[in-house]
Amino acid sequence: MRIAVLGGDGFVGWPTALHLSNLGHDIHIVDNLSRRWIDTELGVQSLTPMDSIQERCRIWHQETGKRIHFHLLNLAEEFERLKSWLAEMRPDAVIHFAEQRAAPYSMKTDRHKVYTVNNNTNATHNLLAALVETGIDAHLVHLGTMGVYGYSSVGAPIPEGYLDIQIETPDGPREQQVLYPTRPGSVYHMTKSLDQIMFQFYAQNDGLRITDLHQGIVWGTHTDQTRRHEQLINRFDYDGDYGTVLNRFLIQAAIGHPLTVHGTGGQTRAFIHIQDSVRCIELALRDAPQAGERVRIFNQMTETHRVRDLAELVARLTDARVAYLPNPRKEADENDLIVRNDQFLALGLEPITLADGLLTEVVEVAKKYAHRIDRSRVPAVSAWTKDIAKRVEHDPEGKRLRSVS
Ligand code: USQ
């Protein structure tokens, strides 16, 4: 298949492009390199040394003889170019990762909120409108998030996208399936909730064939392909905005930084290893819906864990210290989470779990590149509201206190 990977320079996009190229697909990465610009804005860099996208593609060709093509294009702002590009390339499938994906970044300031909404909703809508206009019958696979469901304890398993409901009508009760009510916890998560409505409309109105993957928190860094050459290495974020919780704990442990648990650490979240993430995308691609079918929704996760349990697990493995900090986010202190993921299991996914020994691999990677870490960028300081901002901990290591004593 000819596959367009939109956002193929990112944390999940890059290993997905490699995985699918390895399987023999003709891969075209479309990216505006915004993630690299955001690193510059924030004054941080990936823990792992990441080459330019052109160099990465060159090394892949040198290693495998396969080509990955790169196209510089801004999906959210260059609608006409997107349309002509699609008309020329006519992909069989489009994988859409091209969105700003960090909740803390989306909550930093009003400017970051506006950027995230403009970028994410325009990117998605431009893509949908361009597919209709060019008449391309590509299977669109979108990277959504488990966060669209919200994290309040409901006491029942979260279904895969749709909720069975019963409504009272004058003729008696009637069964219906509706999109699971969304309850986003950040501006970023809100944009993914808006995406769901756009997908529903375009599938119903224009017969677009769409799969939405509600992904949990990705952990790990290497996949079978990124391991093949030092210069194919994946990016790996540790900073307070882009680093995600389990990867952050593992990196913090590697550099002797206290593990930064927000609040009581009672938040339960869904997780998936990066290797399973790329495998799920392959499985979803093979199982395309027909035109006229409703949006197919998968929960792309393999296990759930409480944040403090993860911190304690990492602390046991590495002798790290756990620091319970004021939570910069507005979220439930404690929640339960049970999630259905039957569809991927039925398609043959064999989940990699935390028990599989890969936690120490991440610590080893972090130790190798520890010299690239700026410790001052480790604390998570983006606050969800102005009131919360007053209590954010900028100094979990207590350096300021030590310097005056
Ligand atoms: N947390 C800590 N300490 C930290 C960092 C985070 O306790 O140092 C807590 C947060 O308060 C939160 C939980 O860990 O309760 C998860 O935070 P996260 O940064 O790992 O994940 P999140 O902001 O939800 O976003 C990430 C990805 C996003 C993806 C989402 C999947 O950045 O792109 O959509 O995970 S999910 O969480 O299932 O919605």
Which protein residue's CA is at the shortest distance from atom 32 of ligand 1? 102
What 3-state class would DSSP assign to 159? coil
The model's pLDDT over 243-272, given as tens digits with 9 standing for 90+, comes to: 999 999 999 999 999 999 999 999 999 999
Whole-number Å distance, alpha carbon 244 to ligand 1 midpoint, is: 5
Length of the chain: 405
Reported as a pLDDT band with limits 50, 70 and 90, residue 402 is: low
Whole-number Å distance, alpha carbon 258 to ligand 1 midpoint, is: 18
Reported as a pLDDT band with limits 50, 70 and 90, residue 385 is: very high
Whole-number Å distance, alpha carbon 77 to ligand 1 midpoint, is: 28
Whole-number Å distance, alpha carbon 247 to ligand 1 midpoint, is: 10
Residue 334, pLDDT > 50, answer: yes
pLDDT (average), residues 58-82: 98
Q: Could you give the CA distance from residue 384 to residue 386 in angstroms, rounded to a whole number? A: 7
- What is the atom index within ligand 1 of the atom nearest the CA of 243? 19
The pLDDT score that the predictor gives to residue 401 is: 52
The pLDDT score that the predictor gives to residue 405 is: 40
| Residue linked to tokens 């809508």 | 125
Q: Could you give the CA distance from residue 396 to residue 258 in angstroms, rounded to a whole number? A: 7
Q: Could you give the CA distance from residue 347 to residue 199 in angstroms, rounded to a whole number? A: 23
Beta bridge partners of 31: 72
Reported as a pLDDT band with limits 50, 70 and 90, residue 400 is: low
3-state helix, strand, coil in the chain (%, to 5): 40, 20, 40
| Residue linked to tokens 């029942």 | 156
Which protein residue's CA is at the shortest distance from atom 21 of ligand 1? 244
Whole-number Å distance, alpha carbon 343 to ligand 1 midpoint, is: 24
Residue 237, pLDDT > 60, answer: yes
What's the mean pLDDT when you consider all of the chain?
A: 96
Which protein residue's CA is at the shortest distance from atom 14 of ligand 1? 245
The pLDDT score that the predictor gives to residue 398 is: 82
Whole-number Å distance, alpha carbon 175 to ligand 1 midpoint, is: 35
The pLDDT score that the predictor gives to residue 355 is: 83
Pick from 34-43, 89-98, 150-159: least confident: 150-159
Active site includes 192? yes
- What is the atom index within ligand 1 of the atom nearest the CA of 328? 11
CA 293 to each of CA 54, 94, 184, 201, 210: distance values in angstroms, whole numbers, following the listed order = 38, 17, 26, 12, 9
Q: Which residues line ligand 1 (CB under 6 A)?
A: 101-103, 145-147, 215-217, 244-245, 248, 260-262, 265, 267, 269-270, 307, 327, 329, 331, 380
- Spatial CA neighbour of 136 closest among 98, 94, 97, 95: 94
DSSP string spanning 5-25? EETTTSTTHHHHHHHHHHTT-
The pLDDT score that the predictor gives to residue 347 is: 97
Reported as a pLDDT band with limits 50, 70 and 90, residue 300 is: very high
Residue of 180, 188, 238, 242 with catalytic role = 188
Which protein residue's CA is at the shortest distance from atom 33 of ligand 1? 101
The pLDDT score that the predictor gives to residue 399 is: 74
Q: Which of 116, 143, 145, 301 to mutate to test the pocket of ligand 1 (most atoms within 8 A of CB)?
A: 145
Pair 130, 141: CB distance under 8 Å? no
| Residue linked to tokens 């929640």 | 335
The pLDDT score that the predictor gives to residue 356 is: 79
Reported as a pLDDT band with limits 50, 70 and 90, residue 340 is: very high
The model's pLDDT over 10-58, given as tens digits with 9 standing for 90+, comes to: 999 999 999 999 999 999 999 999 999 999 999 999 999 999 999 999 9
- Spatial CA neighbour of 141 closest among 191, 199, 194, 188: 199
Which of 3.30.70.1400, 3.90.1640.30, 3.40.50.850, 3.40.50.720 is the CATH number of 2-394?
3.40.50.720
- Spatial CA neighbour of 296 closest among 304, 288, 307: 288
Residue of 145, 221, 223, 260 with catalytic role = 145
